Amino acid sequence: MLRIENVNTHYGPIQALHDVSVEVKQGEIVTLIGANGAGKTTLMMTICGDPQATSGKVVFDGEEITGQRTSDIMQKGLAIVPEGRRVFSGMTVEENLYMGSYHRSKAEAEKTAKHVLELFPRLEERYDQRAGTMSGGEQQMLAIGRAMMAKPRMILLDEPSLGLAPIIIQQIFDIIQKLRDEGVTIFLVEQNANQALRIADRGYVLENGRVVLEDSGDALLTNEAVRQAYLGG
């Protein structure tokens, strides 16, 4: 579904990604783990076209999207939940959700909204509340819900567990699995490697802008090097 081929990305003179190749197949949960500054978020952003890859190819659903504008890429059935949630804090939950369906008709959006609210009953309780007044977990749910409003076939999640309590993290990961069961392909970037690998079909390990390891989720969980580096021994 998403194929990243030998992508190199630069920030000015600094190269952030070196020949990165990643593939995510339809219906999979694929996770990308790595330390701070390994280039995880950069890879996410490169998929979205900001920054553009200096070389290599990003193919989504058989169509090459490298070099396309971010706003165009995001309308092809791909959605991203950006790092740090980034909900519109002055807007209500409802308004936040409907920003996610900006390019869709109102009738379609209302249908999706109903579904999203079923998925996140919490958001229904807070429907008229300003997003900025909600807890971190609720905001993360809103961010995921907002991305869902575009009815994407694939969602990129950038650090959904960032700054959340363990019990909330568990809820978020349950939801991610639920989304997959509904047929949405998931590409998950996480620092919380333990949790991410447990729900992932496959995983990639990124180190200094290079993919150093690629295996099934279970295999990576038991891999000695990964345990040492990311799972705390």
Partner 1 sequence: MQSNKLYSAIFAAGITLILACLMIGVKLDTEGTQLAVRGATAEQWTWIGLGVGLVFLSQLFSAQIDAFFGKLPKPQLGKLLPEERKRATLKPWLIAALIVGMIIWPFMVSRGSVDLATLTLIYIMLGLGLNIVVGLAGLLDLGFVAFYAVGAYTYALLSMYFGLSFWVCLPISAGLAALFGFILGFPVLRLRGDYLAIVTLGFGEIIRILLNNWTAVTNGPSGISGIAKPTLFGLEFTRRAKGEDAQTFHDFMGISYSSSYKVIFLYLIAVLLVCVVVYVINRLMRMPIGRAWEALREDEIACRSLGLNRTAIKLSAFTIGASTAGFAGAFFSARQGFISPESFIFIESAIILAIVVLGGMGSQVGVILAAIVMTILPELAREFAEYRMLMFGLLMVIMMRWRPEGLVPMKRPHLELKQ
In sequence order, which residues have a C-beta less than 8 Å from that of residue 59 and are 6 or more positions away? Answer: 2, 3, 4, 5, 65
Residues 164, 143, 211: CA angle, nearest 5 degrees: 75
Indicate the residue among 95 and 182 with the shorter CB distance to partner 1: 95
Question: Whole-number minimum distance, CB 70 to partner 1, in Å?
Answer: 5
Cis peptide before 160 (omega within 30 of 0): no
Mapped onto helix, strand or coil, the DSSP state of residue 15 is strand
CB of 102 to partner 1, least distance (A): 6
Could you tell me the smallest distance in angstroms from the CB atom of residue 128 to partner 1?
8
Question: Which pair of tokens denotes residue 49?
Answer: 């076209």
From 113, 123, 141, 179, residue interacting with partner 1 (rule: CB under 8 A): 113
DSSP H or E run through 47? helix 40-47
CA–CA dist 148, 224 (Å, integer): 36
Taking CB under 8 A as the binding criterion, the range among 71-79, 134-142, 162-170, 180-188 that sits at the site for partner 1 is 71-79
Q: Does position 150 bind partner 1 by CB under 8 A?
A: yes
Residue 11 as a binder of partner 1 (CB under 8 A): the answer is no
- Across the chain, the runs of DSSP E, i.e. the strands, are 2-11, 14-24, 29-34, 55-60, 63-64, 78-81, 154-158, 185-190, 202-207, 210-216
The minimum distance between CB 162 and partner 1, in angstroms, equals 15
For tokens 């993360």, the residue is 140
Q: Is 163 in the site for partner 1 (CB under 8 A)?
A: no
Of the listed pieces 86-94, 162-170, 172-180, 196-204, which binds partner 1 according to CB under 8 A? 86-94
Smallest separation, CB 88 to partner 1 (Å): 4
Instruction: Indicate whether 81 belongs to the interface with partner 1 (CB under 8 A).
Output: yes
> Does residue 86 belong to the site contacting partner 1 (CB under 8 A)?
yes
Residue 103 phi, psi (nearest 5): -95, 5
Residues that bind partner 1 (CB under 8 A): 48, 50, 69-75, 79-82, 86-92, 94-95, 98-100, 102-103, 110, 113, 127-128, 146-147, 150
